[in-house]
Structure 1
Amino acid sequence: MSRFLFVVPPLVGHINPAVGVAAELSQRGHELAWACADPGLVRQLAGDAVVFPCAGPVPGTGDGVRPPEIRGPEALKFLWERFLVPLADDMAPGVEAAVRDFRPDVVVADQQALAGGLVAERLGIPWATSATTSAEFTDVLAGMPKVADWLDGVLQGLRGRIGDPSGTADPRFSPHLVLGFSTRELVGSDAMTGEQIRWVGPSIAPRPTPPGFPWDWLDPSRATVLVTLGTANTDVGARFLTECLSALRVRADRVQAVIVDPGGALGETTADDKDVLIVPSVPQLPLLERVDAVVCHAGHNTVCEALWHGVPLVVAPIRDDQPVVAGQVTDAGAGIRVRFGRVPAVKLGLALDAVLHEPGYRAAAGRIRTAFRAAGGTGAAASHLERIAPLEAR
C-alpha cells in the first residue's frame, strides 16, 4: 500500500473535495496524512486525520482582508500578493517537515497550496494537483499579457525560494497528474488539454453536517429554492440576500426558500414563517436532493454539487474564479447569470422563474448530471492517484 500526503490551503471549499478522495484511498488500505495551516479545520472536515501543521495566513484577517470593491486584475493581484504567495512561503517548511516525517509516496497538492508541488518537485517525489476549481483550465489572461507576465514572474520567484530553481513545471499543474473535479460538458471544449489531466467530476462524499435542520418545514407542494453565497462572502452579501428575500416573498404562493445567512444580515425568521427559512448553515448535500433551483455566487463546489443533482442555477459571481464558473453554467445552458452588485429583486425573480419553469435549463442541468456521474468521482480520482505511486509502494 502507498502513503499519500494531502497539502491543502485553510479553505473549506478546497479541503472538502480532497476529503472524499482521501476517504476512498483510506478504504483501499492506503495511509493518509495532511499538511495545512489550519489543522483544526482539516480535522473538522476530515474527522480523525493525521495533520502536520504549517504556518500561513488566515483568509480574511490582517492584510488578507480584501476590500469588497476591488475586481478584475486588481483582485487577482491582491489574491496572489496577500494570500497565495505568503501561504506558499509560510507553508513550505511545514510541508518539508511533513514529507520528512511521513515519507509519502505521492504528494497531492491543492492548486492554491503551491508549496505542495514545489517542495515535492524539489525532493523528487511524484505529485498530483487537486484542481478544486476549473477556472485555471481556461486562459482567462489571454487578453491581459502584462498581467500574465507579472504572474509568471511571481511563480518564478516562488520556485527560486522554495522549489527547484532548475524545475520547469507550472506549480499549478503537475506533470504527473492533474485531477479536475468537473467534466468537459461543463468546462467546455476550449479548456486546457494534456495527457496528465483527468476529469473526474465532483468529489461527492458524506461530510459532517450541522444538526437540527427542520426537514418537516419543507413543503412538497411548492418549489424549493436554496440561496447561498458559500463560506467566504459574509462580508459582501447583505444587499444581494435582501434582494433575494424580496423576490422570493412575492412568489410565496408557489415557491418556498431556504436562505443561508451566516452573517445574520437578514435577521431571523419566526417559527410560523412557512415561506422563507433563514439559517446560518445547511446540510447542503442532502438538501440539494430536495430543491428545485439554487441561487448562488458561482462558487465551484456549490455549482458542481447543484448540477450533480441536476438542479439549475441563478449565478451571481462576485470575484476570483466565480465569473469563469458562471460563464460555464450559462454556456452549458444550465442557468442564468445576474450581476451580484446591481441586480434588483424584480430581475432576480424573473431569472428564478425562468430556471424553475422553462424546461431547457433543467434539461441542461440533467445532461451535466449524467456526465458528472459517469466521470467516476472519488473512485476515479483515487485510481488515478494509485497509478502514479512508485511501483514498489503499490
Structure 2
Amino acid sequence: MPAPVSATAPAPAPVDAPPLRLLIVVPPLAGHLLPARALAAAWAARGHEVAWVGPEAALRPLLGPDAVVHPTGARLFREQAVGGAAAVRSLWEGFVVPHTRFTLGAVRRAVGQWRPDLVLVDQHAPAGALAAHGAGVRWASFAPSSLETGDPLGGDGELTAWRDGVLRGLWERAGLPAAEYADPRFSAGLVVAPSCAELLGLERESVPAEYALVGPLLERRLFDGPLLDGRPVDGRAGEPFPWAELAPGRRRVLVTMGTLSAEVAGDFLGRAAAALAGLPDVQAVVAAPGEVELPPGAIGCARVPVLELLERGAVDAVLCHGGMNTVGESLVHGRPLVVAPIRHDQPVTAGRLAALGAAVRVDFATVAPEQLRAALRAVLDDPGYRAAAELVGRQLRDGGGAVAAAERLERFARAPR
C-alpha cells in the first residue's frame, strides 16, 4: 500500500517578509474550485491572504462564510456537447467565452479594489489574465484540466486554429493592445498544474521551466456526487456515510461520474449496476441519486467521501468518468481505474491512463454490462494494473501537492520583474 498522503500539512511561514495577496479567478465548477481551495489553504498557512472572484451562490458553499469573495453575479450557460471536437467547441462557445465576457468587469474591479500581488488564473477563466495584464499585475496560470496542456487535441490544426482565434477575440474585445497579445491560458512566468509529466504525456526533460507539475491538490473536502439544486454541496452538511455497511472480506469498487455528469450518467450507471451484479465477490459504493437501481449489497449515496474512502483503504478500484480530481486521488492511493470518459479532457486523460497501464478505458455511450464487468475484473484481478497505478501515484506525489504549489506561487510573486 502506498504511503499515506497528507492533504493538509502546512508549510512554514516565510520569515521577515510581508504577507502577499493572492486573487484567485476560477470558474464556478467543482472540479476547478476544489483543487484551488486546497492550494488556497496552503497559501494561507504560509501567512498570506487570499480572495476569490466568482458568483457568490456557487463559491460560498464551497469556500465557507469567512472567505473573501468579490462577486461577479451569475448567469445560465448553454448545455455543452457530450464528446469529441463538438464538446471542445461548445466548452468555449457555450461557457468559457460568455463567462469571460460576463465576468470581466467584475474581475477588473476586484483587481483594482483588492490590489493583489499575484492573480491565479484558471485556464478556463481567462478574464483573470485579461484584467491582470491590463492592470499591470503579475499573474500565474492554473491548469486543473489536461485539455490545455501538451497537445490534447491530437494535432487537430483546424480546431487549434479556431480556439486561437477565439482567444485573440477575447483579447481584442477586452481592449488590450494587439501588439501585446499573449495566450491568456499560459502565464509566461508560472503554470501550476495538479498533474505530472507522465499523465500529461510530456517527456520530463521537455517540461517547460515555468511549469510547476505539483500533483493532486488534496484536502479533506466535499463529498463527491451530483449537484444539489444546480450547485455543489458541502457533504459535511449532508447525511453521514454508512461506514458500518462496508462488508468485511469483500473487495470494493467506487463508482462516481462526477458532479457535472448527473444529467447524462443515469443510463451508464444502470449498466454499471448490471455489471457489478455479476461480481458477487465485489461490493459497489456508488455516488448516485436514489432512483438508480443498485446491485445487491451495494452502498448508494447522493454524495460519497471519495478521499476518505481511499485513505482508509476501503476501495480496491474506481469506475469513473476520468475527471482529474477523481483520477488524481485514485492514483496517489495506488488504485487502478476503469474510465468511461464523457467530454472535454476526460478522453485525453483516459487514453493516457490506458497507455500507462493504470486503467481500462471503455466507451461511455455504448459499453455493455458484460464488457464493463470484464474491465472491472481485469483491474481487480491483474496485479499489473495496481502496480502501474502505484507507479503513477508515486510520480504524482513527487510533485509536492498544495504545499509545493504555494511555495512556487510565493517565489514567483516575490521574484524581480
Partner of 2:119: helix, strand, or coil? strand
Counterpart selection for 1:171 from 181, 184, 197: 184
- Paired residues for 1:39-118 under 5 Å: 39-47=56-64, 48-59=66-77, 64-66=78-80, 68=82, 71-118=83-130
Cα deviation, residue 167, structure 1: 2.3
After superposition, give the CA deviation of every residue in 1:263-303 in whole Å (9 maximum; x if it has no partner).
x4415x6xxx8621121111111012310000001111111
2:20 and 2:117 in contact (8 A); partners too: yes
- The residue number in structure 2 matching 1:282 is 304
- The residue number in structure 2 matching 1:338 is 362
2:50 and 2:68 in contact (8 A); partners too: yes
Aligned equivalents of 1:132, 1:283: Cα separation in 2: 20
CA 1:58–1:206 in 2, change beyond 3 Å: closer, same or farther?
farther
Q: Quick check: 1:256 aligned with 2:283?
A: yes
After superposition, give the CA deviation of every residue in 1:19-45 in whole Å (9 maximum; x if it has no partner).
011001111110110001x22332222
- The residue number in structure 2 matching 1:133 is 145
Cα deviation, residue 56, structure 1: 4.9
CA 1:250–1:142 in 2, change beyond 3 Å: closer, same or farther?
closer
> RMSD across aligned C-alpha pairs, in angstroms?
1.9
Identical-residue share of aligned pairs (%): 45
1:57 and 1:86 in contact (8 A); partners too: no
State the TM-score, normalized to the length of structure 1: 0.92
Aligned equivalents of 1:357, 1:156: Cα separation in 2: 50
- The residue number in structure 2 matching 1:29 is 47
CA 1:8–1:58 in 2, change beyond 3 Å: closer, same or farther?
farther
Partner of 1:314: helix, strand, or coil? strand
Aligned equivalents of 1:194, 1:221: Cα separation in 2: 47
Aligned equivalents of 1:247, 1:360: Cα separation in 2: 22
Q: Which runs of 4+ in 1 moved over 4 A?
A: none
Aligned equivalents of 2:81, 2:412: Cα separation in 1: 41
- The residue number in structure 2 matching 1:214 is 242
1:5 and 1:32 in contact (8 A); partners too: yes
Counterpart selection for 1:317 from 341, 354, 358: 341
Instruction: Provide structure 2 residue ranges, at least 5 long, that are not aligned to the other structure.
Output: 1-18, 224-234
Aligned equivalents of 1:23, 1:247: Cα separation in 2: 40
Cα deviation, residue 190, structure 1: 5.1
- The residue number in structure 2 matching 1:356 is 380
Counterpart selection for 1:13 from 31, 44, 51: 31
Cα deviation, residue 320, structure 1: 0.9
Number of aligned residues = 380
Partner of 1:118: helix, strand, or coil? helix
After superposition, give the CA deviation of every residue in 1:74-109 in whole Å (9 maximum; x if it has no partner).
222111111100001111101011111111000001
Counterpart selection for 1:240 from 243, 246, 268: 268
2:81 and 2:90 in contact (8 A); partners too: no
- The residue number in structure 1 matching 2:292 is 266
Aligned equivalents of 2:268, 2:349: Cα separation in 1: 19
Q: Which amino acid aligns with 2:307?
A: L
Aligned equivalents of 2:141, 2:45: Cα separation in 1: 21
- The residue number in structure 2 matching 1:385 is 409
Aligned equivalents of 2:24, 2:119: Cα separation in 1: 6
- The residue number in structure 1 matching 2:231 is none
Q: Which amino acid aligns with 1:332?
A: L
1:131 and 1:178 in contact (8 A); partners too: yes
Instruction: Provide structure 1 residue ranges, at least 5 long, that are not aligned to the other structure.
Output: none
State the TM-score, normalized to the length of structure 2: 0.87
